[in-house]
Amino acid sequence: MMLLPPSLDDMVGANHPVRTISQVIDNLDIDPLLAKYKGGGSASYHPRMLLKVLVYAYTTNIYSSRKIEEACSQNIHFLWLSGMQKPDHHTINRFRSERLRFVFRQVFTQVVHMLAAEGILSLKEVYLDGTKIESAANRYTFVWGNALRTHKEKMAAQLKELWQYAQSVAKEEMGDDTPTDFTPISPEKVKQTVEKIDAALQGQPDASPKAKAKLAYAKKHWPQALERYEAQEQILAGRRSYSKTDPDATFMRMKEDHMKNGQLKPGYNVQISASKQCIVSYSIHPNPTDTLTLIPHLEQYQSDHGGLPEVLTADAGYGSEQNYEHLEAAGVEAYVKYGYFDKDQSESERSKRPFTQDKLHYNKEKDCYICPMGQAMERIAIYSKKTESGFSQTLSKYQARNCEGCPLRGTCHKSSGNRIIEVNHNLNRHKEQARAKLNTEQGIVHRKRRPVEVEPIFGNVKENHRFRRFLLRGIEKVEIEFGLIALAQNLRKKCRENARKAA
């Protein structure tokens, strides 16, 4: 029995991680966060205390606001952090979702700069990679962009059929001055056309009942359906899909599929720049492919740290012409693979593709390629095309003179006429530079370090700390939630460094 209860401070170890987290957050400038509180009314919990509780919760794998509330009442370390205060889950969730919006990244960046000053991470050399994390949205509330286009095309085709039928039975009433092209189709165009067809068929006793029924259905349902399709297309904003319960989430294939059948799930593509297994910067994207995420991620990195990294290493998923151009213009020393780079390093793989375009000799002076039989393939066209992201590429076409009777024809190419190849000279230039840099001594070092720097972070977050699905909805809230995950990852690293130094 004790006359007085023991002090909480005596029950928390001197080198416990909770003390490190408390000390780090005490040294942060949280004026932007304090500015979110207008004052007045009853006294609120101090935001620094709530931030400590929230960050420590994510460090210890507690993500639910209700479980954090429970920990603040039962866990000694949470009681020590909160000073025996017990915020409820509404307060915790409101602080995480609303108060931290637009200000948490400043908190995260301060911690990154603090760790950089201590030598725990580097802002100069970073390794880029991404992973997909499932959204909190319902898995079966999908809207597909292709389905919307198909519905609109079918609607336009049926409207054209009704128009042509009305022209055949009531040509005088319809007139010939109205165009019959209903693409692009719109609610206004449908309303006007249906009203005109309906008026023309009113005085036609021989009009088909089936046509009248279809016209009545179109008049009642099509304008509202088109308005809904247009609203959904605005939400898509160029994406192929989204979830009705989380419109910012896109349906993607997840590696962690419990059904093991490649099921599409609503999720986000999370990109990180890593250094010494710490997260230097992060960004959230609705694009399933990594190719389109590099430039916006670097823009976020520059916004976070006031500049770009000196050295960037990434895998083949980022090796596009647009990305190479951007890195070259920004002056970043990039070690970025392109597609087939790994196969190009293997002689056995190269021997399987002896006559591909990249194996043909190019005569730069005469601007022609030499086919496997030694004949010149002359340029026949130059044209431009845009990628999915809107980037303009310049392509050249080269054609062989005479492939008829060539003994290599079956293995060189299988087209019916003379062989034609399509070449992107600028992309080939970037590939040559990338291949040369990646095969240097420094390039080999970066290639070996990339999986060691990045993959353990994702494995630690997803497997060890069981964070595989966001709890919040909407890209702004998801960005806060992953920011807390990233901050927890970095602080765990700092705690291990402190423990190593103390030992």
Domain boundaries, the chain: 8-123+492-502, 143-242, 250-342+436-474, 348-425
Predicted pLDDT of residue 247: 95
Residues 6+ apart with CB under 8 A from 318: 128, 290, 291, 293, 294, 336, 337
Predicted pLDDT of residue 172: 66
pLDDT in tens, 409-453: 888 888 888 999 999 999 999 999 999 999 999 999 999 999 999
Predicted pLDDT of residue 176: 60
Cis previous bond, 184, omega within 30: yes
Maximum pairwise Cα distance, the chain: 105
* Interior angle at CA 395, CA 393 and CA 397, nearest 5: 170
Average pLDDT, stretch 257-269?
78
The pLDDT > 90 percentage for the chain reads: 68
- What HEC string does 168-196 produce? HHCHHHHCCCCCCCCCCCCHHHHHHHHHH
Predicted pLDDT of residue 260: 63
pLDDT-derived band at 256, boundaries 50, 70, 90: low
Q: Can you say whether residue 237 is alpha, beta or left, with left for phi > 0 and alpha for psi between -120 and 50 degrees? A: left
Span of 211-225, 288-302, 340-354 with lowest mean pLDDT: 340-354
Tokens of 373: 């039989």
Considering only residues 95 and 210, tell me which one the structure prediction assigns the higher pLDDT: 95
Q: Please, what is the average pLDDT of the chain? A: 90
pLDDT in tens, 65-85: 999 999 999 999 999 999 999
Please determine, for residue 1, whether its predicted confidence score (pLDDT) is greater than 80: no
Q: What is the Cα–Cα distance from 123 to 332, expressed in whole angstroms?
A: 13
Name the E strands within 256-372: 264-275, 278-285, 311-314, 333-336, 361-363, 368-370
Predicted pLDDT of residue 23: 94
pLDDT in tens, 110-146: 999 999 999 999 999 999 999 999 999 988 889 999 9
How many alpha carbons lie under 13 Å from residue 284 in its C-beta half-sphere? Answer: 23
pLDDT-derived band at 345, boundaries 50, 70, 90: confident
